[in-house]
Copies of this chain bind each other. A is one copy, B any other.
Amino acid sequence: MYIPKIYDEKDKKKITGIIKDNPFGILVAVENGIPVASHLLFELVEKGNDLFLYSHLAKANQMQSLLKLDLSFLAIFQGASSYITPSWYEKMNVPTWNYISVHCYGKAKKIDNHDEEYQLLNRLVNRFEMKYDYKYKLEDLPDDYVKDEMKGLTSFIIKIDKIEAAFKLSQNRNEKDLNNIISHLEKSDDNNEKMIAKEMKAKRDL
**Chain A residues bordering chain B, tally (CB within 8 A):** 57
Q: Are A2 and B60 in contact (CB under 8 A)?
A: yes
Closest to A96 in B: B41
Residue of B nearest to A152 (CB): B94
A1 to chain B: which residues have CB within 8 Å?
Answer: 36-39
Contact A72 to B135, CB < 8 A, known contacts A24-B97, A166-B39: no
Whether A87 contacts B35 in the complex (CB less than 8 A), given A4-B60, A81-B24, A149-B94, comes out as no
Q: Which one of A43-51, A125-133, A175-183 is at the B interface? A: A125-133
Q: Is A29 an interface residue (CB 8 A)?
A: yes
Contact with B along A130-141 (1 / 0, CB 8 A): 011001101001
User: A63 contacts which chain B residues (CB < 8 A)?
Assistant: 2
CB distance from A10 to the nearest CB of B (A): 19
Given contacts A83-B128, A132-B85, contact A74 B39 (CB under 8 A): no
